[in-house]
Chains A and B, each alone.
Chain A
Amino acid sequence: MSLLKQPIINIIFIGFMSVIYSFIFIFTAGHMEFVSILSHRETLNSSFWNGWSDFLRTGNMRFIGYLIIGLTIAIIVFILIKKRKKYDEYQVSILSKSLLVAGTLSILMIPFMMILLLSDSNYAVETIFLFASVQWISVLVSYLIYVIKF
């Protein structure tokens, strides 16, 4: 965790992960093969899930990718402007706790998604994308609050 003391390590970590997420969201938006695996039959009587599925199908998920890029740029700019010194041990403890929560959620989601896919694959892709969106945007927003506050 001592690596987290370095602002540059935070920039590299956030930047690297955001590039992967935004690439997935922007590249797969409207991609024919991706659209074909979404739940077209609307088997679930839920306006939320059908609306989310429509949102993905029409390629609007690229905007989530743009949001990720925007938040990441804001975080990096704040780090570069405000943080010239290393983070102290209190700040590192907060950062490590935040990453521990995000990591634990990701680990818990792997078996949950396996159960989801094996029991009923309908809306599984939508669920995975919703989780990925909420998880990474939550990490970015909390990181942004952190860099503004400290």
Chain B
Amino acid sequence: MKNKVKNLREQFGLSQAQLGEKVSVSRQAINAIENNKFDPSIWLAYDLAKFFNLSIEEIFDFEESERK
């Protein structure tokens, strides 16, 4: 699923490891999400949205999702 995690992370000046720490996942998980290799659970999506102070839909592009 396409998402804006990479852009948002860079705007916040964080590394993948730092963002991972903020939402309690590994650097590899953040990397996989940014590269659209892994769709996070609703809970992780919620944690990311909460951290960036946005809604889930503003970060993740459900309209373009292959699962739709």
A89-B40, A89-B41, A91-B26 are known contacts; what are 14 more A-B pairs with Cβ within 8 Å?
A88-B24, A88-B25, A88-B26, A88-B29, A89-B29, A90-B25, A90-B26, A90-B28, A90-B29, A90-B33, A90-B40, A91-B28, A91-B29, A149-B28
Determine chain A's interface SS by DSSP, over half rule. helix
What is the distance, in angstroms, from B65's C-beta to the closest C-beta of chain A? 17
Determine chain B's interface SS by DSSP, over half rule. loop
Write out, one digit per residue, whether chain A residues 120-137 have a CB within 8 A of any chain B CB (1) or not (0). 000000000000000000
| Shortest Cβ distance from B40 into A: residue | A89
Question: For residues 13 through 68 of chain B, which have their beta carbon under 8 Å from a beta carbon of chain A?
Answer: 24-26, 28-29, 32-33, 38, 40-41, 44
Number of interface residues of B (CB under 8 A): 11
What is the distance, in angstroms, from B47's C-beta to the closest C-beta of chain A? 11
The count of A-to-B residue pairs whose CB atoms sit within 8 angstroms is 24
Please give the residue numbers on chain B whose beta carbons come within 8 Å of chain A beta carbons, in ascending order: 24-26, 28-29, 32-33, 38, 40-41, 44
Question: For residues 106 through 150 of chain A, which have their beta carbon under 8 Å from a beta carbon of chain B?
Answer: 149-150
Among all A-B residue pairs, the 4 with the closest Cβ atoms: A90-B29, A88-B25, A88-B29, A90-B38
How many Å lie between the Cα of A90 and that of B26 in the bound state?
Answer: 8
Contact B44 A89 (CB under 8 A): yes
A93 at the interface (CB under 8 A from B): yes
How many Å lie between the Cα of A149 and that of B33 in the bound state?
Answer: 17
